[in-house]
Structure 1
Amino acid sequence: MTDPTRAVPVLRNGTLAETDSVAVETPVALVFNGISHAVMMATPADLEAFALGFALSEGLLASRAECYGIDMVESDAGIEVQIEVAAAAEMRLKDQRRSLAGRTGCGLCGIDSLTRLDLAPERLAPPAWAATLSPVVVQRALAGMGSHQPINAATGACHAAGWSDPDGVIADVAEDVGRHNALDKLLGRRAQAGLSNADGFVVMSSRASYELVRKCARLGVPALATISAPTSLAIDIAAQAGLVLYGFVRSNQAVRYAGGPSGEG
């Protein structure tokens, strides 16, 4: 598999010739039962977890059991991740493709595209600890994530998605040039290991977009904390789902946007 970093020659301050480590960004094609679904620009690491996490968080798979196997084929053009899935999952994929037939342009255009957004999240049944998740705990989790980011330490170019226990102790971190990819890798790892998503929360080195909140809600993550701000739609979806949402988490602050008031801060 391609290395996630690469050394490139640079002129530092215009005079000194050196090399820098940069994050590798490569096309990754996700192919389900021979059907090409998407090509993502991603860091070439943890791609099996990425593919599984993407399929689950996008609702293409109803459960880990619907994934029968994952293989990767590398070429000069990029990396193709071939996912073998159950017939029910293949039908969901084909339905999505039919809804996109005839669409032109880019972005979210047309009634079919808007229908596919799926902005009505499942209502979570969060554990008791989530209701009292405090600023101190989310600050501890964000602060602890940095030591688990070797690619970003080398390049300064990767987002991170971390898994924290209810006390703010980081258990796992996934990295990628894309924040959505980092989250999918993290959730995919947990699915591979058969871990519950109700026993902790996600912390991220990014803003909180609606996609990140939607992915967490779909997979039963009770809380999300990000270093930057949430969007209005992220807040709305978190409130609908009953998901605790923190933003602007820094050493001296943490703002709770959804999930009820905190007893601290």
Structure 2
Amino acid sequence: MKFDTETDRTGYQERSVLRHRGTSSDNAGRANDRVAEELPVALVVNGISHAVMMVTPRELEAFALGFALTEGLVAKAGDVFDIELREHERSFEVNLTIAQEDFVQLKQQRRSMAGRSGCGVCGIESLELLDMSPPPITAPPLHDATTLPPAIARAVAELGRHQELMSATGGVHGAAWCDASGAVLRVCEDVGRHNALDKLIGHLARDGVDMQGGFVFMSSRASYELVRKAARMNIPMLATISAPSTLAIDIAAEARVKLVSFCRKDGCVEYT
């Protein structure tokens, strides 16, 4: 599968700002600032609207493929036959053509949810859709207590040089794919941490990368959805710069995903 629009947008816009230095109004001046883009992206599956996400509009085909995989819309990358991107004035639409058996299952799931009574986001239907009990991964452990710290230190040291959008705007998350030694091989960026991870997974799946042989390093906190997405893809380890939540820890433990947070050059905290 070929992504036709991989580098079509910068992911930011320039806006005029009034920049203040110090406490005196005499130190204020007009300047141009680069601001990360955030626009609605509609995901349409076999002609039926499935979801609308707020995304930085770059690498959208990779995002759509990654989303389809990590959210269980398809079983494998080969089940996505075509991805078509349409740009509107202030939004985007990504049309996915998926295998009929996956589409039938998706329609059955949507139909089983229709017409049920509930209490909105706190209802049992919403909790079921969260998929908070992923099956254990089958990938073998990637690190032990000896090899983990140097791999994390290398990933931390290398991440910044790959974050072009972060350098330009200061306002996006990065999802990095690292080999077992911690070398950063690819980084995807987005205003949403889960979007950045979906973009990364979309690229890895498109390229046929063995996701058991490396780990994901995120420039964010570790939330439950990041762990769940990693578990779906049989990724053995998720590392993050900031703290995890209790639910992220619980899901990682259940799925046997190694969760490492507070990653710094001089150390990290292993939670599972």
> Scaled by the length of structure 2, what TM-score is found?
0.90
Question: Which amino acid is the alignment partner of residue 8 of structure 1?
Answer: R
Instruction: Check if 1:129 corresponds to 2:136.
Output: no
Contact preservation (8 Å) 2:142, 2:214: no
Name the SS for the 2:14 alignment partner: strand
Amino acid across the alignment from 1:11: L
Q: Are the aligned partners of 1:43 and 1:176 in contact in 2 as well (CA < 8 Å)?
A: yes
1:236 aligns with 2:250: yes
Mapped pair 1:245 → 2:259: yes
Alignment correspondent of 1:263: none
Could you say which residue in structure 2 is the equivalent of 1:189? Answer: 203
Aligned to 2:154: 140
1:251 Cα deviation (Å)?
Answer: 2.7
Which residue number in structure 1 is paired with residue 5 of structure 2? none
Distance verdict in 2 for CA 1:21–1:106, change over 3 Å: farther
Look up the match of 1:71: 84
Judged with a 3 Å threshold, the aligned counterparts in structure 2 of structure 1 residues 71 and 110 are, in CA distance, closer, same or farther, namely same
- 8 Å Cα contact 2:42/2:52 also seen in 1: yes
Q: In the TM superposition, what are the counterparts of 1:1-265 in structure 2 within 5 Å? A: 2-13=9-20, 15-102=28-115, 108-132=121-145, 133-258=147-272
Runs of 4+ in 1 over 2 A off after TM superposition: 95-109, 125-133
Superposed CA deviations along residues 89-122 of structure 1, whole A, max 9, x for unmatched, are 2123223323443579997321211122222212
CA distance in 1, matches of 2:169, 2:225: 26
The letter for the 1-side match of 2:217 is: V
Paired residues, number: 258
Q: Distance in 1 between matches of 2:253 and 2:49?
A: 34
User: CA offset at residue 125 of structure 1?
Assistant: 2.5
Q: Which residues of structure 1 form unaligned runs of 5+?
A: 259-265
Cα separation, 1, equivalents of 2:121 and 2:36: 29
Q: Distance in 1 between matches of 2:160 and 2:119?
A: 35
Q: CA deviation at 1:194?
A: 1.0
Distance 1:232 1:112 in 2: 22
Q: Secondary structure at the match of 1:123?
A: coil
Letter in structure 2 aligned against 1:136:
P
Tell me, in whole angstroms, the C-alpha distance in 1 between the residues paired with 2:167 and 2:99: 39
Contact map agreement 2:142 2:213 (CA 8 A) in 1:
no
Cα distance between partner residues in 2 of 1:58 and 1:4 = 24
Question: Could you tell me how far 1:139 is from its partner in structure 2?
Answer: 2.4
Identity of paired residues, percent?
51
Compute the RMSD of aligned alpha carbons.
1.8
Deviation readout 1:165-215 (Å, 9 max, x if unpaired): 111100000000000000000000001111110110000011111110000
Of 223-232 and 13-22, more deviation after overlay is shown by 13-22
Whole-Å separation in 2 of the counterparts to 1:70 and 1:206: 29
Whole-angstrom distance in 1 between the partners of 2:119 and 2:48: 21
1:208–1:226 contact (8 Å) kept in structure 2: yes
- State the one-letter code of the partner of 1:146: G
The separation in 1 between residues aligned to 2:44 and 2:35, in whole angstroms, is 28
When the two structures are superposed, what TM-score results if normalisation uses the length of structure 1? Answer: 0.92
